[in-house]
Structure 1
Amino acid sequence: MKTRQIVTLALITALNVAVARIFLIPVVFTHGNINLCDAGIVLSGIVFGVRGGALVGGLSGFLLDLFSGYPQYMIFSLVIHGTQGALVGTAQTRSLKEQLLVCGGAIGVLVGGYFIADSLLYGWSAGILGIATNLLQGIVGTGLGLVLARRAPKIRAQKW
């Protein structure tokens, strides 16, 4: 990776954490939260590919949990959101229809990953209760991320 790309990804990660921290809704029954972190992850995956999506995804999820008071989720978020970003990054050069299919799979990774995390931390009932909120977060964040990625041609046009 070139220095310019590393700096750009670091700035997007910082911005993603800040925006997600501002728009954070605690979910009492799972001890987690709903946030807009997924929007930045999808944007990074579509614009920067697999590595960019994985880096922004993993670091954003990890740091957001650290700064928001959810340290029990940090490692889970690193893996779940990193995988989500890498998966979305595979759709970088594909059509919108294919991007939507890949993003659907990434939402599945998000929901399934946090089902496992909630179940391990707080029992099966918390895992089941978290499915709806994680699905909502995934759909809203992915939709916003796809809209932002379509509006980012100048970022995409830069040569790395």
Structure 2
Amino acid sequence: MKTKKLTVLSVIIAVNLALSYVIKLPSPTGAGFVSLVEAGIFIAAWNFGPRGGAAVGGVTGLLLDLIAGYPQWMIMSLMIHGAEGYVFGLNSKRLQDKLMMTLIGGTIMVLGYWLAGTMLMWLMAGMSMPWSAAFLATASDIPGNIMQVLVGFVVALIVNKPIQRLLAKADLN
């Protein structure tokens, strides 16, 4: 990647991190939180493709968990949001394609956090809790994660046009 592109992706990460840290809601299980992190991931993926989406998703997810006090989630967020961002950047020129990639990437995020949450809850209970109980308990985070993807998609749709005009002026090619 060119230096300009890396710089822009770094700015997206910084803005996304700040907004996601300030605007967040605790999850029902207390295992994490719901934020605006997807908005920046969508913007990076739509404008810089799968690699840009993966970089912004992974780095933002990792750093957000670190500064928000959830270090146990850092590596999982790196992988889950990174994969999600990669998928968001695939074939994302038309609105129909963006919707399809949102469905696939959002599913990766929701299922990824559900399984990761199950594993963490089971481990934190000293493995004395039945796996099925942890699986059911963490299911309460699913609606919040779905809303996180949908709100991020809508926010990104609203702000992406002005961002594209700025990027066009920056001559990133």
- TM-score tier after normalising by the smaller chain length: over 0.9
Which amino acid in structure 1 is aligned with residue 95 of structure 2? L
Q: In the superposition, relative to structure 1, how do residues 119 and 30 fare at CA in structure 2: closer, same or farther (>3 Å)?
A: farther
Q: Is the 8 A contact 2:37 2:61 kept in 1?
A: yes
Map of 2:96 onto structure 1: 97
Equivalent position SS for 2:29? helix
Is 24-33 or 81-90 further displaced after alignment? 24-33
Residues 38-65 of structure 1, C-alpha deviation per residue, up to 9 Å, x if partnerless? Answer: 0000011001111111100000000000
Map of 2:82 onto structure 1: 82
Normalising by structure 1, report the TM-score: 0.93
Q: Is the 8 A contact 2:21 2:35 kept in 1?
A: yes
Shift >3 Å, 4+ stretches:
none
Residues 93-135 of structure 1, C-alpha deviation per residue, up to 9 Å, x if partnerless? Answer: x311111111111111110110111110112123211111111
> Structure 2: where are the runs of 5+ without partners?
122-133
Is 127-136 or 79-88 further displaced after alignment? 127-136
Percent same amino acid at aligned positions? 35
Is 117-126 or 41-50 further displaced after alignment? 117-126
Map of 1:120 onto structure 2: 119
Distance 2:99 2:167 in 1: 19
Equivalent position SS for 1:152? helix
The answer to which structure, 1 or 2, has the higher relative contact order (CA under 8 A, 6+ apart) is 1
Cα RMSD between the aligned structures?
1.3
Distance 2:155 2:91 in 1: 16
| Higher-Rg member (1/2) | 2
Q: Is the 8 A contact 1:117 1:127 kept in 2?
A: no
Which amino acid in structure 1 is aligned with residue 172 of structure 2? K
Q: Is the 8 A contact 1:43 1:149 kept in 2?
A: yes
Distance 2:38 2:62 in 1: 13
Equivalent position SS for 1:151? helix
Q: In the superposition, relative to structure 1, how do residues 26 and 9 fare at CA in structure 2: closer, same or farther (>3 Å)?
A: same
